[in-house]
């Protein structure tokens, strides 16, 4: 057995889960193209009947996006907000994570009816944060010495490009 951890068995548990997913889209108007706003909000609360929080439950999260279309061009500026993860499973020694907000930008150009070019930047401002559902990073941990693993870091700025062909 490792320091600070306990051996677990697969056993069914009674638990209660509740939550909500809300999303919407609103056309904002025409000015140098068509503009629309999108928003979504997700929340889940999960607790076992023994009083412990369930493992690996996403904290409150929201997305706000501004979409722009002008002819063959489509653009999206999106912001993702995630609350801190502080309702964690004590039985599984789940780690807490801080809340964060990141921005993403995506653009696409429809060259022909069947060919589209896509490009985007995720985590536009290269924000460093830990993934609430990303698991643990064991490389720097020394469980025998009581140094617990840390939550896995999220990916930094990512630049993506692609071509889509319909046939």
Closest CA relative to residue 84, chosen from 100, 71, 98: 98
Portion of the chain with pLDDT greater than 90, in percent? 71
Measured in degrees and rounded to the nearest 5, phi and psi for residue 144 equal: -70, -25
User: pLDDT of 17-68, one tens digit each?
Assistant: 999 999 999 999 999 999 999 999 999 999 998 889 998 999 999 999 999 9
> What's the pTM?
0.83
User: What digits encode the pLDDT tens for the residues 83-105?
Assistant: 999 999 888 778 899 999 999 99
């Amino acid at each position: 057995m490792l320091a600070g951890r306990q051996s677990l068995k697969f056993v069914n548990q009674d638990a209660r889960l509740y939550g909500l997913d809300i999303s919407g889209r609103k056309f904002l108007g025409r000015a140098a193209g068509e503009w629309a706003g999108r928003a979504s909000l997700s929340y889940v609360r999960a607790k076992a009947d023994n009083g412990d929080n369930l493992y690996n439950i996403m904290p409150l999260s929201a997305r706000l996006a501004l979409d722009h279309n002008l002819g063959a061009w489509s653009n999206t500026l999106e912001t993702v907000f995630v609350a801190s993860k502080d309702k964690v499973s004590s039985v599984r020694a789940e780690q807490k994570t801080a809340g964060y907000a990141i921005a993403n930008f995506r653009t696409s150009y429809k060259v022909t009816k069947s060919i589209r070019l896509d490009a985007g930047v995720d985590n536009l401002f290269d924000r460093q944060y830990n993934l609430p559902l990303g698991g643990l990073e064991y490389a720097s941990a020394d469980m025998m010495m009581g140094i617990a693993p840390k939550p896995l870091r999220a990916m930094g700025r990512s630049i993506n490009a692609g071509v889509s062909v319909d046939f």
